Amino acid sequence: MKPHRHRKSTLWRPGSSKPEGQPLIVEEPLSIRIQGAPYSVVMRTPGDEKAHVAGFCLGEGLADRPEDITAIAFCDGDDTNVVTVTLAPKRRKAIAGILDRREFVSQTSCGLCGKEIVADLHQQVRPVTAETRLDPQGAFACLQSLSDHQPIRRATRAAHAAAIYDDRFNLLAIAEDVGRHNALDKAIGMLFLDGRLDRAALLVLSSRISYELVQKAARARIPVIVAVSRPTTLAVDLAEALNITVACRDGRDGLNVFCCSHRFGLSTLMHA
């Protein structure tokens, strides 16, 4: 599987828009099995799976030396997202406590893929029904000014941010954190606790857009996400399924909109 795929988008710049296309990094699940039993599912970009799993085993304390692993094998050929690790008998005995305490994941199918994740989440999370219309210029301005609201980033150069605006681009909440998921949880939580989450119309992120961030936005009923970096393929697939607009910055003055571009009025602009 290639590490990136070409996806259609709409390129917006002040006063114009046109069809565009961009390569997006692939985000797919990798199910890791130890001695044939499910151990963990991690999201990753395909490639170097055996090295990925070996490093995972070292980090988890499952292996201390290469000899602790007797085999790392794909479940069914080279195109699967499931890898099984076989440990040396001596190592299995040494880490019996770790294996006994592990929390088995629910995925048992060897056909685990991004489509299954989207289908499962579509059943768990309702599509966003709000047909909010936003001025792309205003959304771009919010994205450009994000760093102005990041004191931790200015001090450390090591913080992500999530900012939430209403449909008139009034800032409702902003949070910073070393983790992008944490920053979004904090920003959503502020509005959730204040009873103001229903005003949220635009989410601005300092990071790329992964499928988990789309899922969180859908749970918060936020219809538009704009980010500094491009989304992953899985993020766009999920956003399309949940009727969420996803866009990222393109150069100094543009946005690449990957789905649900009607909220920016781009279907009209393109034929103007």
Q: Which residues are catalytic?
A: 110
**Contact indicator for 163, 204 with CB cutoff of 8 Å:** yes
Q: How far apart are the first and last CA of the chain?
A: 39
Task: State the Cα–Cα distance between residues 35 and 177, nearest whole angstrom.
Answer: 37
Q: Look at residue 46 and give its three-state secondary structure.
A: coil
Instruction: Give Dmax (Cα) for the chain.
Output: 71
Task: State the Cα–Cα distance between residues 183 and 167, nearest whole angstrom.
Answer: 21
Which residues have a Cβ under 8 Å from the Cβ of 224 and sit 6 or more positions away?
Answer: 132, 134, 139, 201, 202, 203, 244, 245, 247, 263
Task: State the Cα–Cα distance between residues 47 and 25, nearest whole angstrom.
Answer: 12
Task: State the Cα–Cα distance between residues 57 and 85, nearest whole angstrom.
Answer: 9
Distances (CA, A) of 110 to 74, 79, 116: 10, 11, 11
Supply the DSSP symbol for 36: T
Task: State the Cα–Cα distance between residues 81 and 49, nearest whole angstrom.
Answer: 9
- Which helix (H) or strand (E) is 44 found in, with range? strand 37-44
Scan for tokens 């001596």, then name that residue: 90
